[in-house]
């Protein structure tokens, strides 16, 4: 059975209702926004491209010297703080790594077994020098 295929397509007209007036977008003013607000130019991307000039330490110190400081004003050297509640960190006298151990004979701090073996081979004058660097009392027999 041979059926001819019709290749023509009919375009149907679409009915447009012209009785309604065209809709215009209305801008609704929000009560919490200031209509005359202008961004200051300092800040993030919304403020625009404003390059901030970086000052080096010499420029910062020079600008601070020109300020009218009083002798009683606090600075970094006059700030007093109470002692810390945390215990002092202990570092190895040989390597400078955090030390968990102390040699009972020489009172030197160490962090590994290799350092312990090295400490045991040191002469007493070198041990005294290490303890003097740490400002510890030299108790070497």
Chain-centre distance of CA 56, in angstroms? 19
The predicted-structure confidence for 102-113, as pLDDT tens digits, reads as follows 999 999 999 999
DSSP 3-state of 102 = strand
- Asked whether 140 and 120 are in contact (CB, 8 A), the reply is no
Six-digit token string for 104: 């009972």
76, 82, 86, 88: CA torsion to nearest 10: 60
C-beta separation of 74 from 67 below 8 A: no
What's the rounded mean pLDDT across residues 63-90? 84
Beta-carbon neighbour count of residue 90 at 10 Å?
A: 14
Per-residue pLDDT band for 44 (boundaries 50, 70, 90) equals low
Say which range, 8-12, 48-52, 102-106, has the weakest mean pLDDT: 8-12
Contact in structure between 93 and 108 (CB atoms under 8 Å)? yes
pLDDT of amino acid 140: 55
- Whether 15 has a pLDDT exceeding 80, the answer reads no
pLDDT at 86: 95
**Stated pTM of the model:** 0.45
């Amino acid at each position: 059975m041979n059926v001819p295929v019709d290749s023509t397509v009919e375009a149907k007209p679409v009915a447009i209702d012209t009785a309604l007036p065209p809709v215009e977008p209305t801008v609704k003013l929000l009560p919490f926004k200031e209509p005359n607000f202008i961004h200051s130019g300092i800040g993030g991307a919304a403020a625009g491209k404003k390059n901030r000039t970086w000052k080096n330490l010499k420029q910062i110190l020079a600008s601070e010297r020109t300020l009218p400081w009083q002798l009683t004003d606090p600075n970094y050297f006059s700030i007093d703080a109470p002692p810390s509640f945390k215990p002092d960190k202990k570092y190895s006298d040989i390597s400078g790594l955090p030390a968990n151990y102390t040699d009972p004979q020489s009172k030197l701090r160490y962090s590994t077994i290799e350092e312990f073996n090295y400490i045991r081979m040191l002469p007493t004058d070198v041990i005294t020098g290490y303890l003097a660097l740490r400002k510890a009392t030299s108790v070497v027999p």
